[in-house]
């Protein structure tokens, strides 16, 4: 009988982020259920949002964004598209490897910024 512990160890090494604000959660090293929120105010805001979604009749997995959050998300999507177009243009123009690596790194940074919703 062989025990498989590699996936569990790999999951613990991944950085975890607050389900509300997106801040990185400290690695507690504790046994038990992992933390979902960095602090009580984030837990409270998440509860309030879940309660509001239930009262509004929206599905449980609905995502509710304010107008400001939507505008910010659209701006970041535009930045991602522009960064991807820069890479494509440089490749079509025959840019050297160093330039393509620099542009690809910028594309990755832009995509990482897009991953956060708040």
pLDDT digits (tens, 9 = 90+) for 36-85: 999 999 999 889 888 887 888 878 777 777 888 889 889 999 999 999 99
Q: What is the pLDDT of residue 108?
A: 92
Distance CA 29, CA 15 (A): 13
Q: What is the pLDDT of residue 117?
A: 61
Alpha helices in 1-118 (DSSP H): 6-13, 40-56, 67-92, 97-115
Greater confidence (118 vs 69) lies with: 69
Q: What is the pLDDT of residue 64?
A: 75
| Global pTM value | 0.53
Q: What is the pLDDT of residue 13?
A: 56
Q: What is the pLDDT of residue 78?
A: 94
Distance CA 50, CA 56 (A): 10
% of the chain at pLDDT higher than 90: 36
Q: What is the pLDDT of residue 1?
A: 46
């Amino acid at each position: 009988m062989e025990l498989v512990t590699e996936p569990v160890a790999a999951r613990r090494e991944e950085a975890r982020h607050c389900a509300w604000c997106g801040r990185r959660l400290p690695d507690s090293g504790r046994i038990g259920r992992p933390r979902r929120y960095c602090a009580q105010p984030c837990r409270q805001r998440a509860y309030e949002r879940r309660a509001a979604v239930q009262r509004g009749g929206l599905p449980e997995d609905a995502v509710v964004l304010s107008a400001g959050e939507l505008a910010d998300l659209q701006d970041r999507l535009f930045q991602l598209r522009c960064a991807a177009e820069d890479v494509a243009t440089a490749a079509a123009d025959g840019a050297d490897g160093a330039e393509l690596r620099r542009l690809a790194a910028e594309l990755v940074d832009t995509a990482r910024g897009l991953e956060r919703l708040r």
